Structure 1
């Protein structure tokens, strides 16, 4: 079911709650659902964890309050749902969602500031339909990580469209070229080594 299928909202919710799809990532947009069930490879999962490490280190170095959620579901009932690989709340928004929250209701709570998709087999969809979905949900910044090329395609978002960027506006002064270099290093170095290098890089920045 790794494709968009026209489906009523109630049927999508039924599928998403079915134990058969317990490990699937669910998306709903423009009356269609997508359940991603493909196995996650070593390269995808290590890029995922390395990017999470980098964001956490950046926040720690610069005293930036942030929370990273891993594969969290965000829902606007009857209209949209997404489950980005990583999502980041920055600043005051980190205190608005109770810890016990399951699926984040976007009619009650804010969308994350940043949504991130780690893309190996879903790159075109992540750059297309999902980007439009994230524009409508209210994400401020969207990152797509091309696993095979160790590249990051990033956008600043609004409901009228999106614009590609080279430097994050949410994590101020953070250049995506630095993160791309970290991803490239991940092909030959362990995460402790890369983390030490990132700390040095981040300490030289002055947000």
Structure 2
């Protein structure tokens, strides 16, 4: 539990769970330098602040998934930009800070290079969002999925770091459905992502990269 001084929400702030809070108090916390290492989410009057340290399991899974996505897009000549732990904000509606997010395709306009949250009232949401977790997987599949449905993300992946599983959802018209092959990166299957994660248990990055190059050729 983290204590602050001004509001009831701040004085009774519990991290890593959803608590009821007005948007203005959420923004005050999100913009507070004392919480700069936290990850912030807001949806329908509830906020979640994640302050858990990131260990090697999460970091390794993050790296492997990132490599798979970017290598596939590169070899398929698909325009792509990756953002790591970027904050996206739709004022008065919601905020999210996924592990990985991607703008994909020929038409996107990349937000400016600043340290301010990306304003979704001015810029489109990323095409693909990926959350990597172990203890947080149920939340990733639940409330966070609702956030991404609402803000116009086109595809959402949840990676269970403890099981090397990947679940993907295509999102359209505010609703999501499970898919086995990416629609924003056509031809990339979730089974290949899972195999890359499993290989990372015993193989180094060079070996995995060579295997990916062979698989994508």
Tell me if both proteins adopt one fold, taking TM over 0.5 as the criterion. yes
- 2:209 is matched with which residue? 195
Superposed, which structure 2 residues align to 1:28-39 within 5 Å?
28-39=42-53
**1:149-199: CA deviations, max 9, x gaps?**
101010001244210000000001101100100000000011121011111
Superposed, which structure 2 residues align to 1:2-13 within 5 Å?
2-13=16-27
2:55 paired residue among 41, 65, 80: 41
Local SS of the residue matching 1:196: helix
Q: Does residue 184 in structure 1 map to residue 198 in structure 2? A: yes
1:113/1:130 CA distance change after superposition, 3 Å: same
Q: RMSD of the alignment, in Å?
A: 1.2
**1:24-54: CA deviations, max 9, x gaps?**
0000001011000011111111000111111
Does structure 1 retain, via aligned residues, the 8 Å contact 2:109–2:123?
no
Local SS of the residue matching 1:156: strand
1:114 paired residue among 128, 132, 136: 128
TM-score by length of 2: 0.90
Superposed, which structure 2 residues align to 1:133-172 within 5 Å?
133-172=147-186
Which segments of 5 or more consecutive residues in structure 2 lack a partner in the other structure? 1-14
Does structure 1 retain, via aligned residues, the 8 Å contact 2:152–2:174?
no
Q: Does residue 123 in structure 1 map to residue 137 in structure 2? A: yes
The structure with the largest alpha-carbon Rg is 2
TM-score by length of 1: 0.95
Partners in 2 of 1:99 and 1:17 — Cα distance? 18
Partners in 2 of 1:148 and 1:125 — Cα distance? 15
Local SS of the residue matching 1:171: coil
Question: Which consecutive aligned stretches of 4+ in structure 1 deviate over 6 angstroms post-superposition?
Answer: none
Partners in 1 of 2:163 and 2:68 — Cα distance? 18
Local SS of the residue matching 1:95: coil
Cα distance, 1:63 vs structure 2: 0.9
